[in-house]
Amino acid sequence: MVTAQEPSHSLAAVEEMSFRRLVDSITDYAIYMLDSQGIISTWNQGAQRFKGYTAAEILGQHFSRFYTEEDKLAGEPARALHAAAHEGKYEKEGWRVRKGGERFWAHVVIDPIRDEDGKLIGFAKITRDVTERRNTQQALLESEKRFSLLVQGVTDYAIYMLDPQGHVTNWNGGANRIKGYAAEEIIGQHFSRFYTPEDRSAGLPFQALKIAEREGKYEKEGWRIRKDGTRFWAHVIIDAIRDENGKLIGFAKVTRDITERKEAQEALEQAREALVQAQKMEAVGQLTGGIAHDFNNLLQALGGCLTMIARRTDQPDIQPLLQAGRQAVDRGAKLVQQLMTFARGESLRPETLALPDRILGMAGLLERVLRADIRLNTRFTPDLWPVDLDPTQFELAIINLAVNARDAMPNGGSLLIKAENVTLPPGNPRGLEGDFVHLSVADTGTGMPAEVKIRAFDPFFTTKEVGKGSGLGLAQVYGLAHQGGGTAWIDSEEGRGTTINLLLKRSHSLPRQAVDRSRALPKAQRGGHILLVEDDPVVASTVAAALEDAGLMVTRVVTADEALPLLAGADAIDLLFSDVIMPGRISGIDLAQEARRLRPGLPVILTTGYSGNVADAEGIRILPKPYRIDELVDVLAREMSGAKPLAPVAESQP
């Protein structure tokens, strides 16, 4: 230990010398003394090592030379001595300067030294170079700061901490954005407030913490609540945080709003379901297309036989049976028509309709569909606007609704068919705007549960027993509403009845007059000659018999190959009535074209159990199967009313 004076050789001096040698040997600390004014009076090897001064250079100098210029200007050295003298100790960290001007970070302790009388005689000063430690701490702080900035900068994830009991202890910007709470609003609150009431009642927040504590991690998706009360679908991860001794000190929680992803997944699932439904419809279409012709032939034969029986008997007790048989044929025909419409995508043929005329014209049919204990009422706004609809599909829709209402009123009730004009402004809840006719069919029946109402318009969905419903009735009604440029919806509650609502776009065309079903059909001309081409023997015999009863002469053949010689012969043919699909190389359409070539102006009517679109595309009249015999007679009479029997075209001679 170098001092300003030589020590004495007394025992005390020897002990002092030993102590000085101990201090001098310390190189990790600068240990030296100052007089009461701050002048350096001793200097050890540690001070020389990291301050750079030898004893000869520094003894007698003021200790303030180790301070930075800014600290000296601020009076920090004098303040340090004053604090040590008056408070018994001064301890602080700060920048100090080495001999070469290089700065280092120092931990400084200054203790006052007093004599036996308590008089201040100087200071003991210990300085340690802790630059490396500070750099490490700074690096750690910088790392923590960068990490904090990183976490705070993440806006797609809510990242925050919970204490062991689940209270929020910090909050990032993503949590603010996703959940809507500012940090000062949520820190200290329990994280269970983000859960739905039903999840809180089930204890899910606490279960999540228990699982995270037990297994180290909890991960799940579910509904969460924002500050404004709206719900979002969240992906949640909770990790347990433990100290070096394994003690639980809290949880790290990461939440992501994946509502859009969930909606996209649901949309994809709906698309998949739609694809499956489309494939199912296609399969039904293929099946229906395969059996429609034969099935309609059977219905045609049954209907023809019933008509013939009705014409040849007048026994009253037979009439209810005949009526029941006709209704069964009609239901079968409608079922095939529905299947063809949905499964094969048949195009509809809209006409401008006056709804009151159409519905009132169906009153007799609707009363037969409904039971005697069900009262039918109608209510129409004066000057009701016309609409453009396929008349057959419209009547089928009304019948479907009447049947559903009847089944929903097992103990009787009332059915109200109402229509009124409405004008929808832009932005209304229905998503439509303009002039519409609001048609509603309301019953007083049992109503629909919510889960049934949601699916009621789905094709093939039915709550009826097997064999009592096809599941196509309301789907057909929904399709009709959209064909009419509008939409459909259901108002229903269990025990309070059901109202089916249709919005139909207003038409600016004049409506056609509805068919008066009560008027007599025209009688066929006596002596008219019909060439009937039909491969089904039952259908052919019943149709031929019915036409002969109507006063027509009928020539029956099975194929087009058999019909062509008759058309080319000398016999007068007044009308060709042929099936479209038949055995042989020539179809009904080909036969019709050849007949027109051989006999220009010859009326031609085709019939088929398939779609009539192909035949119509050729400009040929089509009569769908199954048809009523009186309907057929009516069509034949109208077609032949202005036609004369024509001879075949003479072949040109070579």
pLDDT band at 654 (very low <50, low <70, confident <90, very high): very low
The sign of the CA dihedral 154, 157, 163, 169 is: positive
- Under CATH, which architecture does the 347-505 domain have? 2-Layer Sandwich (3.30)
For residue 81, pLDDT over 50 is answered with yes
Evaluate whether the domain defined by 154-257 bears CATH number 3.90.1150.10.
Answer: no
* Mean pLDDT on 413-431: 88
* Mean pLDDT on 466-480: 63
| Helix (H), strand (E) at residue 103 | strand 103-114
Predicted local confidence at residue 400, as pLDDT:
82
**Residues in Cβ contact with 249 at an 8 Å cutoff, skipping those fewer than 6 apart:** 164, 241, 242, 243
Which of 118-132, 306-320, 569-583 has maximum average pLDDT?
118-132
pLDDT band at 151 (very low <50, low <70, confident <90, very high): low
Predicted local confidence at residue 615, as pLDDT:
46
- Length, in residues, of the chain: 654
For residue 282, pLDDT over 70 is answered with no
Residue that wins the pLDDT comparison between 8 and 65 = 65
How is residue 358 written in tokens? 């159409």
Contact between 479 and 321 (Cβ < 8 Å): no
- Under CATH, which architecture does the 283-318+522-654 domain have? 3-Layer(aba) Sandwich (3.40)
Predicted local confidence at residue 464, as pLDDT:
54
Predicted local confidence at residue 16, as pLDDT:
64
Predicted local confidence at residue 463, as pLDDT:
56
Q: How are beta strands 103-114 and 231-242 bridged, if at all?
A: unpaired
- Least confident among 80-84, 241-245, 350-354, 482-486: 482-486
For residue 607, pLDDT over 90 is answered with no
- Least confident among 108-122, 280-294, 521-535: 280-294
Q: Crossing angle, helix 259-312 and helix 629-640, to 10 degrees?
A: 80
Percentage of residues of the chain with pLDDT beyond 90: 35
Predicted local confidence at residue 302, as pLDDT:
73
Predicted local confidence at residue 550, as pLDDT:
79
For residue 522, pLDDT over 50 is answered with no
pTM of the model: 0.39
Residue 373 exposure: Cα atoms within 13 Å on the Cβ side? 10
For residue 516, pLDDT over 50 is answered with no
CA 475 – CA 101 distance, rounded (Å): 91
For residue 643, pLDDT over 50 is answered with no
Predicted local confidence at residue 85, as pLDDT:
93
Residue that wins the pLDDT comparison between 7 and 618 = 618
Residue that wins the pLDDT comparison between 615 and 630 = 630
Predicted local confidence at residue 348, as pLDDT:
57
Query: Mean pLDDT, the chain, as a whole number?
Result: 81
Other C-beta atoms within 10 Å of 641: how many?
12
* Mean pLDDT on 277-281: 60
* Mean pLDDT on 236-264: 91
CA 489 – CA 501 distance, rounded (Å): 5
- First vs last Cα of the chain: how many Å apart? 147
Predicted local confidence at residue 57, as pLDDT:
92
CA 640 – CA 529 distance, rounded (Å): 10
Predicted local confidence at residue 443, as pLDDT:
93
For residue 520, pLDDT over 50 is answered with no
Q: Indicate the SS3 state at residue 534.
A: coil
Predicted local confidence at residue 140, as pLDDT:
75
Residue that wins the pLDDT comparison between 648 and 233 = 233
Same fold, 2-135 and 283-318+522-654: no
For residue 651, pLDDT over 50 is answered with no
How is residue 594 written in tokens? 């050849």
How is residue 316 written in tokens? 């009253």
For residue 573, pLDDT over 60 is answered with yes
Please state, in angstroms and as integers, the Cα–Cα distance from residue 161 to each residue in 170, 186, 209, 235, 618, following that order.
6, 12, 12, 16, 76
Please state, in angstroms and as integers, the Cα–Cα distance from residue 521 to each residue in 22, 214, 357, 633, 643, following that order.
136, 86, 19, 8, 19
Contact between 402 and 366 (Cβ < 8 Å): yes
User: Is the omega angle on the peptide bond into residue 626 within 30 degrees of 0, that is, cis?
Assistant: yes
**What CATH fold (topology level) applies to the domain 2-135?**
Beta-Lactamase (3.30.450)
Write down the domain spans for the chain. 2-135, 154-257, 283-318+522-654, 347-505
* Mean pLDDT on 197-220: 94
For residue 523, pLDDT over 70 is answered with no
* Mean pLDDT on 489-511: 89
Residue that wins the pLDDT comparison between 21 and 134 = 134
